[in-house]
Amino acid sequence: MARRREAARGSMPLTELLEAKESKAMSSFGVKDLDTMLRFAPRRYTIPAPLRSLHEVQVGEEMSATVSVVGVTERSMRSRRGSILEVIVSDGIEDITLTFFLAKPHLVAWHRSRLSVGKSVVVRGTVGWNTYANKPQITHPDYEEYEDTPEGLAYAQRPLPVYPLKQNIAQRTMRAATEKGVDFAQYLARPVPAEVISARGLLPLPAAVAKVHLPRTAQDTRDGVAHLVFEEAFVLQAIFAQRRALDARTPAPALQAEGPLQGAFDERLPFELTSGQREIGGQITERVGRDHPTSVLLQGDVGSGKTVIALRAMLRAVDSGHQAALLAPTEVLAEQHYRTITDLLGELSGAGRLDAHADATRVRLLTGSQKTSARRETLLDVTSGQAGIVVGTHALLTESVEFASLALVVIDEQHRFGVDHRRRLRTKGPAGMSPHVVVMTATPIPRTAALATVGDLDVLTLRESPGMRAGVDSFVVPEKSPKWEQRMWARAGEEVTAGRQVFVVCARIDETDEAPAPVILDEDGQISETALEEARGVTATAERLAQRPELAGARLGILHGRLTTEEKQRTMDRVVAGEIDVLVATTVIEVGVDVSNASVMIVLDAERFGVSQLHQLRGRVGRGEHAGIAFLDTRTEPGTETFQRLEGIASAADGFALAELDLQVRGAGDLVGEEQSGLQRTLKHLDVIRDARVIEQAREDAFAVIAADPDLTAHPDLAGAIDNRLRDADPDVERS
Ligand code: ADP
Ligand code: MG
């Protein structure tokens, strides 16, 4: 484990630099050293505006203006001792009153001396309303005299940083702290090498942070922040570059055999591979043929045929004398993958059976809920190498499962797969080697977002889908409109009558749940914690639907995460066999459930689901020859932002359009795996949409630096920044 290298500079504790009050204020934001403080950027800046823009200022808003004093009056307070000092200030066109309530005569004298008629001041404060005079006023503003020269005016009009605040912390305290810090800016750690900084035309770090915290102009703030944005992108890309460099030094089994399983499989396939499948398949073949581990993100819309590609790569591993594993996020999906794979392989999967093909391998399913005897047999096959292909959940990696020679790991659905898993994988290969990894995702990530989030993976994209799919039309249904509701259920009923099947997805299991069902609280994070009222859960919804005249005679079933594995399996078997017409379920059916006869997907309380979740859900229907319909049923009102978001989803043609939409709605953090979202969450300055160009530049530079100095011996500040980033992103994890 790489101990954090203490950077020689920059890690200066704030307690040694600031007054107690100031370092305490900073530490309430977790800011404890100079390096962090000077990179803790203001949330925004106030820039003094002329008073004539006052009509644009709302009562209650903070404002500032350069003005001169035109009148001063003082009167005594009625109910208390002391005076009210009213100072009228003007910008030459408009005026406003500054009001001070002052108990002590010496305070009155002090303000009067600084606010005598003719003085130029910049005032800052919150606009209030004087109900007696019926006009705006500023009570107890901050003000500062300035010299009435062009330079003096420019200084008075400088932007002032506005830092985030917490209870009892004054803006003044935050400003004082950073202002002191800027004096020590030459001691900051500088992760970006000076050559890179100057080649990209950026300000050196000390000048940049001075402009961030003590700007003279609005341009200064942009120039200063530009450095911090670049630095953040650079450190992130350096992390990815280092991982790739590590991979390049790690041995992996080179999967180069050309047969016999692959050929026999291709002959068996009941369809032609699309040209996209052949092309991407070829790229994966080339990568797993190398003797260093490859990490590929295979993205393609739901039903685009990723699994077939992955399976061919797995057969290549078996042909090469090794094993391959397929990991699914849930047991239901693992079981389904197992069935799909054994179906596709047929006699090629029956090694040991009489009817098996001469070159057959053995496919094994390993789940936590298997009976001990079955499990022992499976483990034996895994350890002895009899099982060429092993399907399971992520538990395959967390348990002490010993593979004879694991050369390829395929992971279904990247968003549930974290750093922990990937690290464990490194140790699972044969003889100190690391297996190759292919991650499949149906939530494509736009290019620059991918660079910023999964920059250590090679992204391969399947753009076309095999023509078989009939596709899905989506509609948003306002639940408050009875006509729409009736139409929706009637449509579902018609499909049932025509022999098709319907999925109804609920946001939770039932209303007696103390907490929301765990299955719905995944990383999509769109589901609010507010309890759903009666009759919104799976159980109650199924009861309610049994009463709907539109669905009279339909056979209903329920499926959720709290059923036992056998119950779940039995239900899914009945759905596949066509014995259930309407399946009411939680999002357990989100990923991968493949029932080609299903034609209607109804999502209740659709606003509680994330964009990619809804896309996954609607991808469950229209998988076969029958066109699918998805209804996003919501109680939100047409015209609201939420309703419009749902309409956007309904009208987005494919996963790519949605990915863009998703990115705009939520930022990139949720699109990607735990680890990457950790790195994302800790991004302070970088915006993966806005800063696309910066990301590309930083990537080029960071990869060049790492290529020349993989261990960063000549770049201790960069090494330190990387360690800090990784620790912030994933505090519990020891890094190898
Ligand atoms: P994904 O994993 O991308 O969701 P799958 O690999 O599960 O997609 O494929 C979806 C369906 O399409 C499966 O039933 C699969 O057998 C079928 N399929 C895959 N490739 C083709 C193809 N080239 N032509 C026709 N059907 C295909
Ligand atoms: Mg699939």
Range of the domain at 495: 481-634
Please determine, for residue 671, whether its predicted confidence score (pLDDT) is greater than 50.
Answer: no
Query: In terms of domains, do 18 and 108 share one?
Result: no
Does ligand 1 come within 6 angstroms of the Cβ of 516? no
More confident residue, 101 or 678: 101
- pTM > 0.75: yes or no: no
Does ligand 1 come within 6 angstroms of the Cβ of 277? yes
The preferred substitution site among 308, 344, 591 for testing ligand 1, maximizing ligand atoms within 8 Å of CB, is 308
Does ligand 1 come within 6 angstroms of the Cβ of 464? no
* Residue that finishes a domain, picked among 403, 429, 462: 462
According to the model, what pLDDT value does residue 530 have? 40
Q: Which atom of ligand 1 is nearest to the CA of 596?
A: 14
**Measuring CA to CA, how many Å separate 311 from each of 20, 305, 315, 330, 340?**
62, 10, 6, 19, 10
Q: Tokens 């080179």 label which residue?
A: 254
Query: In terms of domains, do 457 and 543 share one?
Result: no
Query: In terms of domains, do 22 and 80 share one?
Result: no
Domain presence at residue 689: no
Would you tell me the crossing angle of helices 655-666 and 611-618 to the nearest 10 degrees? 160
Evaluate whether 613 touches 518 at the Cβ level (below 8 Å): no
Structure tokens at 108: 């009155």
Q: Which ligand has the minimum distance to the alpha carbon of residue 301?
A: 1
3-state secondary structure of 421: helix
Domain presence at residue 378: yes
Distance, in Å, from the CA atom of 42 to the CA atom of 38, rounded to the nearest integer, reads 10
More confident residue, 524 or 190: 190
Does ligand 1 come within 6 angstroms of the Cβ of 466? yes
Does ligand 1 come within 6 angstroms of the Cβ of 300? yes
Structure tokens at 433: 């080697």
Domain presence at residue 735: no
According to the model, what pLDDT value does residue 7 have? 42
The pLDDT mean for the chain works out to 83
State the distance from the centre of ligand 1 to the C-alpha of 273, rounded, in angstroms.
9
Does ligand 1 come within 6 angstroms of the Cβ of 303? yes
Domain presence at residue 276: yes
pLDDT tens for 461-491 read 887 766 545 568 899 999 888 899 999 999 9
3-state secondary structure of 227: helix
Query: In terms of domains, do 36 and 58 share one?
Result: no
Q: Which ligand has the minimum distance to the alpha carbon of residue 328?
A: 2
Of the listed ranges 292-301, 442-451, 571-580, 713-722, the least confidently predicted one is 442-451
Query: In this structure, how many other beta carbons lie within 10 angstroms of the beta carbon of residue 52?
Result: 12
State the distance from the centre of ligand 1 to the C-alpha of 346, rounded, in angstroms.
16
According to the model, what pLDDT value does residue 717 have? 94
* Residue that finishes a domain, picked among 158, 178, 197: 158
With bands split at pLDDT 50, 70 and 90, how would you rate the model's confidence at 216? very high
Here the CATH number for the domain that contains residue 104 is 2.40.50.140
pLDDT tens for 160-179 read 898 988 878 888 899 999 99
The preferred substitution site among 306, 307, 616 for testing ligand 1, maximizing ligand atoms within 8 Å of CB, is 307
Please determine, for residue 242, whether its predicted confidence score (pLDDT) is greater than 70.
Answer: yes
State the distance from the centre of ligand 1 to the C-alpha of 614, rounded, in angstroms.
20
Q: What is the mean pLDDT of residues 350-376?
A: 81
According to the model, what pLDDT value does residue 364 have? 93
More confident residue, 573 or 429: 573
Query: In terms of domains, do 65 and 36 share one?
Result: no
3-state secondary structure of 45: strand
Return the top range by mean pLDDT from 219-228, 641-650, 658-667: 219-228
Query: In terms of domains, do 325 and 436 share one?
Result: yes
Q: What is the mean pLDDT of residues 121-125?
A: 88
Q: Which ligand has the minimum distance to the alpha carbon of residue 281?
A: 1
pLDDT tens for 25-54 read 999 988 999 999 999 989 888 877 766 666
Query: In terms of domains, do 452 and 496 share one?
Result: no
Q: Which atom of ligand 1 is nearest to the CA of 412?
A: 2
Please determine, for residue 3, whether its predicted confidence score (pLDDT) is greater than 90.
Answer: no
Residues within 5 A (CB) of ion ligand 2: 307, 592
* Residue that finishes a domain, picked among 102, 137, 158: 158
State the distance from the centre of ligand 2 to the C-alpha of 575, rounded, in angstroms.
18
Q: Which positions ≥6 away from 62 have C-beta within 8 Å?
A: 46, 124, 125, 126, 127, 162
Q: Which ligand has the minimum distance to the alpha carbon of residue 275?
A: 1
Please report which residue ranges of 183-217 form alpha helices under DSSP H.
Answer: 194-199, 205-213
Tell me how many domains the chain contains.
Answer: 4
Q: Which atom of ligand 1 is nearest to the CA of 310?
A: 6
Domain presence at residue 216: no
Distance, in Å, from the CA atom of 701 to the CA atom of 237, rounded to the nearest integer, reads 9
CB hemisphere CA count around 11 (13 angstroms): 11
Q: Which ligand has the minimum distance to the alpha carbon of residue 596?
A: 1
State the distance from the centre of ligand 1 to the C-alpha of 307, rounded, in angstroms.
7
Query: In terms of domains, do 7 and 87 share one?
Result: no
Does ligand 1 come within 6 angstroms of the Cβ of 7? no
According to the model, what pLDDT value does residue 596 have? 82
State the distance from the centre of ligand 1 to the C-alpha of 332, rounded, in angstroms.
19
Query: In terms of domains, do 566 and 530 share one?
Result: yes
Distance, in Å, from the CA atom of 221 to the CA atom of 618, rounded to the nearest integer, reads 45
State the distance from the centre of ligand 1 to the C-alpha of 507, rounded, in angstroms.
28
Q: Is the peptide bond before 270 cis (omega within 30 degrees of 0)?
A: no
Closest CA to 348 of 310, 324, 318, 304: 318
According to the model, what pLDDT value does residue 463 have? 79
Please determine, for residue 454, whether its predicted confidence score (pLDDT) is greater than 80.
Answer: no
Does ligand 1 come within 6 angstroms of the Cβ of 36? no
Does ligand 1 come within 6 angstroms of the Cβ of 308? yes
Vertex 492, ends 533 and 526: CA angle to 5°?
40
According to the model, what pLDDT value does residue 520 have? 33
According to the model, what pLDDT value does residue 450 have? 77
Query: In this structure, how many other beta carbons lie within 10 angstroms of the beta carbon of residue 71?
Result: 12
The preferred substitution site among 468, 591, 596, 623 for testing ligand 1, maximizing ligand atoms within 8 Å of CB, is 468
Q: Which atom of ligand 1 is nearest to the CA of 592?
A: 4
Query: In this structure, how many other beta carbons lie within 10 angstroms of the beta carbon of residue 354?
Result: 5
Please determine, for residue 6, whether its predicted confidence score (pLDDT) is greater than 90.
Answer: no
Q: Which positions ≥6 away from 388 have C-beta within 8 Å?
A: 261, 314, 317, 318, 323, 324, 351, 361, 362, 363
State the distance from the centre of ligand 2 to the C-alpha of 49, rounded, in angstroms.
57
Evaluate whether 324 touches 314 at the Cβ level (below 8 Å): yes
With bands split at pLDDT 50, 70 and 90, how would you rate the model's confidence at 56? low
Domain presence at residue 228: no
**Measuring CA to CA, how many Å separate 275 from each of 279, 344, 470, 619?**
6, 20, 19, 22
Here the CATH number for the domain that contains residue 444 is 3.40.50.300
Evaluate whether 190 touches 205 at the Cβ level (below 8 Å): yes
Share of the chain above pLDDT 70, in %: 85
State the distance from the centre of ligand 2 to the C-alpha of 420, rounded, in angstroms.
24
Give 237-276 as a 3 state SS string: HHHHHHHHHHHHHCCCCCCCCCCCHHHHHHHHCCCCCCHH
Query: In this structure, how many other beta carbons lie within 10 angstroms of the beta carbon of residue 189?
Result: 21
Q: Is the peptide bond before 260 cis (omega within 30 degrees of 0)?
A: yes
Please determine, for residue 682, whether its predicted confidence score (pLDDT) is greater than 60.
Answer: yes
Distance, in Å, from the CA atom of 528 to the CA atom of 516, rounded to the nearest integer, reads 9
Query: In terms of domains, do 427 and 553 share one?
Result: no
Burial class (CB in 10 A: 0-12, 13-18, 19+), 358: exposed
pLDDT tens for 127-160 read 888 888 888 889 999 898 988 888 888 888 888 8
Which H/E stretch holds residue 615? helix 611-618
Of the listed ranges 374-388, 513-527, 591-605, the least confidently predicted one is 513-527
Domain presence at residue 211: no
State the distance from the centre of ligand 2 to the C-alpha of 413, rounded, in angstroms.
9
State the distance from the centre of ligand 1 to the C-alpha of 578, rounded, in angstroms.
21
Evaluate whether 389 touches 363 at the Cβ level (below 8 Å): yes
With bands split at pLDDT 50, 70 and 90, how would you rate the model's confidence at 735? very low
Does ligand 1 come within 6 angstroms of the Cβ of 341? no
3-state secondary structure of 28: coil
Query: In terms of domains, do 523 and 615 share one?
Result: yes
Distance, in Å, from the CA atom of 161 to the CA atom of 177, rounded to the nearest integer, reads 12
Query: In terms of domains, do 427 and 570 share one?
Result: no
Structure tokens at 674: 């735990």
3-state secondary structure of 502: strand
Domain presence at residue 720: no
Does ligand 1 come within 6 angstroms of the Cβ of 304? yes
Give phi and psi for 37, each to the nearest 5: -65, -45
Evaluate whether 117 touches 72 at the Cβ level (below 8 Å): yes
Which H/E stretch holds residue 287? helix 275-288
Please determine, for residue 638, whether its predicted confidence score (pLDDT) is greater than 60.
Answer: yes
Please determine, for residue 519, whether its predicted confidence score (pLDDT) is greater than 60.
Answer: no
According to the model, what pLDDT value does residue 426 have? 72
Does ligand 1 come within 6 angstroms of the Cβ of 299? no
With bands split at pLDDT 50, 70 and 90, how would you rate the model's confidence at 550? very high
Structure tokens at 403: 């593979």
